[in-house]
Amino acid sequence: MNGYSPAARPSSSGDAAAKTSDPRSPRPLLRFAEDLARLPSSELGGTLRALLPFSSLPTPLEAAASPELASESASPAALPPELKGILVRRGIAELWSHQAEALARANAGRDVLVATPTASGKSLIYNLATAARLLERRGARALFLFPLKALEHDQLAGLRADLETLSALDPPTAEIYDGDTSPYRRKKLRESPPSVLLTTPDMLHFGILPGHDQWKEFFRNLELVVVDEVHTYRGVLGAHFAQVLRRLARVARHHGAEPRFIACSATVGNPRAFARELFGRELDVVAHDGAPAPQRWLAALEPEASAYTTAARLFRRCVRAGLRTIAFTQARRVTELMHLWVLEAEPQLAGRISSYRSGFLPEERRAIEKRLFEGDLLGVISTSALELGIDVGGLDVCILVGYPGSVLATRQRAGRVARGREGLVFMIPQEDALDRFFLRHPERLVTRPCEDAVLDATSLEIAAAHLPCAAAEVPLAHAETWLESPGVKRALALAHARGSLLESAAGGESFAARRDPAREVSLRAAGESFAIRRAGETGRRVVGTIGGARVTGECHPGAIYLHRAQSYRVTALDFERRSVEVEGPVEVDWYTRPVVEKETEILEVLRSRPIGNTLAKLGRLRVTSRTKAYEKRRIFGQDLLGRHPLDLPPTVFETEGVWLELAPQIERALKSEGLHFMGGIHGLEHAALALFPLFALCDRFDAAGISIPRHAQVRGPAIFLYDSHPGGIGISRAIFPRFEELVALAGEITRECPCVDGCPSCIHSPRCGAGNHPLDKRGVIRVIDLALARAPLPAKRDELVEPELFEEIAEPAVSAAPAPLIFDVETQRAAGDVGGWGNTHLMRLALAVVYDTGSGQFETYTEAQSDALVERLFAAPAVVGFNVRRFDYGVLRAYTARKFEDLPTFDLLEDVHKKLGYRLSLAHLAAQTLGRSKTGDGLQSLEWWKAGRLDLIEAYCRMDVELVRDLLAFAARERHVIFQRKDGERVRLPVEWDGTSILARTARVREMRS
Ligand SMILES: [Zn+2]
Ligand SMILES: [Zn+2]
């Protein structure tokens, strides 16, 4: 033993060990890491790239706003003696500040979310709060919800022991009710419900809520609902669970109860907003971590060959040094392999190390946790299973085999060390874009805030599936408040249209069409799902389920389907019975890859804004994909073993997505430089998708993409990135505001990657339906530079000349109406910056001035107020401007999906052009007619923008609007304006520019609009 470690001494508990560490080396772990750095890379199979402090992050800003509440009421001294007993039993002298605050809020009858790191004593908070309720009213009931069955079992013993301190003779009871509970036990529990019922969302959904009448006693007295590991309820599961929670509150209300909620979560970026979406109500957020945080270091280790080999060697070295070590892998198979390799190399470690994963029996897991806690086990190799819940005490070293996929999971896993004493975290990257990114920038892993947890509580398909469940529980009254949101309304209409909900004859109420709709809804899939069964097996025994949107891609006949690290061969796919038949598990050294063709249709544009030389949009999409064939490839080396055509119907689903509409000049620029444009946009799509998990808590496969060089609706090149679950689950929505940052980072990762032509660490995607072809790495970098306007967009000479203006103006029809608006915009960029006048939509709004001819008021709108500006224009009876149709509307088109052709518009320049056959500038007309000259020009305005002088731009823009206003006033009086001909003659141009004439001329557009 090298004596690096406190645990090298015969000592058990973490705290005691900390005290016995060698006083001469106050930083034994740091010394250990520094020694590693001096090793030749052949020893470790890798090189230590960085070693830096890895402290806890500050509380998310959003949560810090939570008003302070005096926590004295929850200090141990103030607790009733029975609750003090719980602390004594646990050997706790004092609550940490976040525990005290959360408890005080819960006891005050508030709904609370505690969002703090792993092992910060969250279960103590809800156990104490529950005990407090039970002390006050012995008949009260509480419901504890855990995302996994294993976690219920983890909590049960501790909870029971806590409850026993309340009354030794007749303690309140706690029982689990889940899929493993026998029918006999279930009946007993329904007849006499325990004080605390522990269950899973799935059981609540199809086992408890549908039969709530048998649980009358329980629901009537339900006072508290505890929801643990809340951050796991995101994406598809989150959208389902949001509905289940609404059903739960509804059923409780039906029985006369209004339970309060206590929720616990890992640290996420948006705890308040996330809780609001999930629970449909406002929760008090407690997000500061009051637990002491000893120093922790992060070491980034670059493997020479395989991350697994390096990890196994490092693991052995740590354990040999007497350090209590945990390694986290991404898959069960890898866990077992590493365990095997370590024991092969060092058989003497048998009995001192173990693997740990979800397939183990609860007793096996308890035994491992206990031995780890007590220091009997020195090392554990685990899947993410040990990331949640369970206290295993303070460990010394955490080895991350591959980036865990999110900052949140990284911090959860790192939270296993440095509890009570210092800790060291190793990150060993695999061949993946994010892994490599954090290897190059470990400081960003340390400083990056946790991701936002996203969920769409009104996801159409999912809400439509739960409404019949709710109606079966208690008939839906259409006046119920939760049905008021537009999303739920759409789902309600869909459920009626599908016939899964039937409206009462009198109207105003709906009933479920089927008897037990909850049975048909799986919380783990969106849209209709397919059951995967072994050939010959029927009924409820399934290998798994798969969503209808993914079934042809992953479970086509002949596919190798991976489930929990086991391979199955698909033998049949039955659309009618929604079932997949498989054989296996099979041992094969090859995998299958579908060849997919996709297309996308834009159904509705929800948001639009310009970024650089592109338009970024968010909207509803219809995606059609067809699996045309599949390839068999060898797992090692990826050699193509065969290609098999398939004849399957297309899969069509609606979802939400974001997309980029690129200026056509980008394509021209790439082609002229000999770069592959399709390869460029395709690679950008892949790189951007790989980064999705950095911006919203999701798996990169929760989103998919399509790049199209010429999209019919866009009329040009477009890159679509969309939620791969029907209806969307909120990911694209979360990405949209940060789209520019995402694309810029995709460019950075591609540029930094040392490969030549693209690789899995930058632009290759493991799930590309086109087999990663075509891809052009230099093309990706160039597309991004041009798209983000980091490089000037080349334009042909004629694109820099203002186009001729021809536009038919609607014929007059008489109508009386209120006053038109006069309006003008100034831009941030010149035509030359955006590739010519054809791209006015990329010039970006600097500001706009609107003049209301009715009220005589001026209004100014900046880019941030573009939505309000568009609303203002569309609410006006008519809009008047100079060259407004081609220029001003062109600029605004970037910010809205609304159609400016629908806007009643009178363009003075068009009218002049129609009358004369040529154009006159506003400056010319103003000088000749009003004797006034313009100060400054458009180019000057661009300079002001660069100098940040919005005030000067505003004055300039307002002057233009005033000139138009005064020209109109002159024309209304004199029935003409004045201009100077080429021969120098000043002449009158007869015009009908009074308000009535203008409104009459724009009336037809108004009529068509209404
Ligand atoms: Zn690369
Ligand atoms: Zn692809």
Q: Which ligand is nearest to the CA of 593?
A: 2
Cα-to-centroid distance, 784 and ligand 1 (Å): 16
Cα-to-centroid distance, 773 and ligand 2 (Å): 7
Cα-to-centroid distance, 760 and ligand 2 (Å): 12
Give Cβ neighbours of residue 897 (< 8 Å, ≥ 6 apart). 604, 605, 606, 607, 608, 617, 619
The DSSP bridge partners found for residue 643 are: 631
Cα-to-centroid distance, 630 and ligand 2 (Å): 15
Q: Which ligand is nearest to the CA of 690?
A: 2
Cα-to-centroid distance, 427 and ligand 2 (Å): 28
Judge whether 970 and 929 are in contact, CB under 8 Å.
yes
Cα-to-centroid distance, 12 and ligand 1 (Å): 46
SS3 12: coil
Using a 10 angstrom Cβ sphere, with 0-12 exposed, 13-18 middle and 19 or more buried, the burial of residue 525 is: buried
Cα-to-centroid distance, 650 and ligand 2 (Å): 18
pLDDT of residue 127: 95
Cα-to-centroid distance, 758 and ligand 2 (Å): 13
Cα-to-centroid distance, 433 and ligand 1 (Å): 8
Cα-to-centroid distance, 437 and ligand 1 (Å): 11
Cα-to-centroid distance, 766 and ligand 2 (Å): 9
pLDDT of residue 64: 45
**Tokens encoding 529:** 């799902």
Q: What distance in Å separates the CA atoms of residue 1007 and residue 1010, rounded to the nearest whole number? A: 5
The DSSP bridge partners found for residue 614 are: 611, 662
Cα-to-centroid distance, 328 and ligand 1 (Å): 25
Q: What distance in Å separates the CA atoms of residue 335 and residue 382, rounded to the nearest whole number? A: 6
Cα-to-centroid distance, 762 and ligand 2 (Å): 13
Q: What distance in Å separates the CA atoms of residue 137 and residue 144, rounded to the nearest whole number? A: 18
Give Cβ neighbours of residue 538 (< 8 Å, ≥ 6 apart). none
Cα-to-centroid distance, 756 and ligand 1 (Å): 7
Cα-to-centroid distance, 738 and ligand 2 (Å): 22
| H or E element at residue 46 | strand 46-53
Judge whether 783 and 663 are in contact, CB under 8 Å.
no
Amino acid symbol at 750: T
Cα-to-centroid distance, 721 and ligand 2 (Å): 11
Q: Which ligand is nearest to the CA of 767?
A: 2
Cα-to-centroid distance, 703 and ligand 1 (Å): 21
pLDDT of residue 27: 75
Cα-to-centroid distance, 689 and ligand 1 (Å): 15
Cα-to-centroid distance, 768 and ligand 2 (Å): 4
Tell me the pLDDT tens digit for each residue of 164-195.
998 878 899 999 998 888 999 999 999 999 99
pLDDT of residue 549: 80
Cα-to-centroid distance, 660 and ligand 2 (Å): 16
Cα-to-centroid distance, 702 and ligand 2 (Å): 15
579-583 β-sheet, strand order: 544-547, 529-534, 579-583, 566-574, 560-563
Cα-to-centroid distance, 685 and ligand 2 (Å): 7
Single out the residue of 536, 512, 456 nearest to residue 736, CA to CA: 456
Cα-to-centroid distance, 769 and ligand 2 (Å): 6
Give Cβ neighbours of residue 464 (< 8 Å, ≥ 6 apart). 491, 492, 494, 495, 498, 500
Q: Which ligand is nearest to the CA of 706?
A: 2
The dihedral formed by the CA atoms of 913, 919, 922 and 927, expressed in degrees to the nearest 10: -110
SS3 835: coil
Q: Which ligand is nearest to the CA of 772?
A: 2
pLDDT of residue 29: 86
| H or E element at residue 567 | strand 566-574
Single out the residue of 709, 700, 708, 687 nearest to residue 758, CA to CA: 687
Cα-to-centroid distance, 427 and ligand 1 (Å): 20
Cα-to-centroid distance, 687 and ligand 2 (Å): 10
Cα-to-centroid distance, 775 and ligand 1 (Å): 11
Cα-to-centroid distance, 195 and ligand 2 (Å): 54
Judge whether 69 and 108 are in contact, CB under 8 Å.
yes
Cα-to-centroid distance, 708 and ligand 2 (Å): 11
Q: Which ligand is nearest to the CA of 756?
A: 1
Cα-to-centroid distance, 681 and ligand 2 (Å): 10
Q: Which ligand is nearest to the CA of 780?
A: 1
Cα-to-centroid distance, 605 and ligand 2 (Å): 24
Q: What distance in Å separates the CA atoms of residue 260 and residue 691, rounded to the nearest whole number? A: 38
Judge whether 310 and 303 are in contact, CB under 8 Å.
yes
Question: 64: alpha, beta or left, given left = phi > 0 and alpha = psi -120 to 50?
Answer: alpha
pLDDT of residue 422: 86
Q: What distance in Å separates the CA atoms of residue 118 and residue 414, rounded to the nearest whole number? A: 9
Residues of the chain with pLDDT under 70: 1-26, 56-77, 119, 358-359, 362, 388-391, 538-540, 564-565, 637, 796-818, 1006, 1008-1010
Q: Which ligand is nearest to the CA of 720?
A: 2
* DSSP state letters, 279-323: HSS--EEE----S----EEEEEEEESS-HHHHHHHHHHHHHHTT-
**Residue 63 neighbours by CB distance under 10 Å:** 21
Cα-to-centroid distance, 768 and ligand 1 (Å): 16
Using a 10 angstrom Cβ sphere, with 0-12 exposed, 13-18 middle and 19 or more buried, the burial of residue 505 is: exposed
Q: What distance in Å separates the CA atoms of residue 536 and residue 331, rounded to the nearest whole number? A: 29
pTM of the model: 0.79
Cα-to-centroid distance, 744 and ligand 1 (Å): 16
pLDDT of residue 131: 95
| Dihedral pair phi/psi, residue 226, rounded to 5° | -105, 130
Cα-to-centroid distance, 675 and ligand 1 (Å): 17
SS3 262: strand
Cα-to-centroid distance, 471 and ligand 2 (Å): 43
Cα-to-centroid distance, 748 and ligand 1 (Å): 11
Judge whether 446 and 53 are in contact, CB under 8 Å.
yes
Q: Which ligand is nearest to the CA of 682?
A: 2
Q: Which ligand is nearest to the CA of 707?
A: 2
Question: β-strand 529-534 against 579-583: which pairing, if any?
Answer: parallel
Cα-to-centroid distance, 864 and ligand 2 (Å): 35
Judge whether 84 and 32 are in contact, CB under 8 Å.
no
